[in-house]
C-alpha cells in the first residue's frame, strides 16, 4: 500500500530585506513568479490580466496579457469614467 506524503508550507516571517542588492534579486524573482501566475490565469480562464509594480529602485515593471497594454488602458479609462459618474 502506497503512503501519501503531505508537504505543507512553513510559515515564514516576512520582513524587509536590508541589503539593497538582495532586495533587488528577490524582487526580480518574485516579479517573474507573479508574471508566470498572471499568464497562467490568462491562458486557463481567458481573463485579461495586468500587473504593475515598482522595483525597490523605483523602476516600473508592467505585464499585460493583451501584449499591447490594452488591459491597463481599459482599466484607466473605466476608472476615469467611474470617477466622473461619482462611482468607485
Task: Note the pLDDT of residue 49.
Answer: 95
- Residue 5 included in any domain: no
Instruction: Summarize the confidence of residues 21-33 as an average pLDDT.
Output: 97
- Residue 3 included in any domain: no
- Residue 6 included in any domain: no
- Residue 33 included in any domain: yes
- Residue 77 included in any domain: yes
Q: Is the pLDDT of residue 6 over 90?
A: no
Instruction: Quote the pTM value.
Output: 0.73
pLDDT per position as a tens digit, 34-84: 999 999 999 999 999 999 999 999 999 999 998 888 898 998 899 888 887
- Residue 15 included in any domain: no
The span from the CA of 42 to the CA of 19, in Å, is 34
Domain count of the fold of the chain? 1
Q: What's the CA angle centered on 19, arms 18 and 23, to 5 degrees?
A: 90
- Residue 45 included in any domain: yes
CATH number of the domain to which 31 belongs? 3.40.1810.10
Across 3-7, 13-17, 43-47, 57-61, least confident range: 3-7
In the chain, which residue ranges form alpha helices assigned H by DSSP?
20-45, 70-85
Task: Note the pLDDT of residue 4.
Answer: 64
Per the structure, the complete domain to which residue 24 belongs is given by 20-85
Show the cell assigned to 72.
491597463
- Residue 64 included in any domain: yes
Amino acid at each position: 500500500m502506497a503512503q501519501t506524503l503531505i508537504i505543507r508550507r512553513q510559515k515564514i516571517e516576512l520582513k524587509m530585506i536590508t541589503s539593497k542588492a538582495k532586495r533587488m534579486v528577490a524582487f526580480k524573482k518574485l516579479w517573474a513568479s507573479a508574471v508566470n501566475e498572471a499568464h497562467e490565469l490568462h491562458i486557463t480562464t481567458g481573463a485579461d490580466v495586468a500587473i504593475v509594480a515598482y522595483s525597490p529602485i523605483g523602476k516600473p515593471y508592467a505585464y499585460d496579457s493583451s501584449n499591447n497594454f490594452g488591459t491597463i488602458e481599459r482599466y484607466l479609462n473605466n476608472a476615469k469614467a467611474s470617477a466622473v459618474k461619482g462611482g468607485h
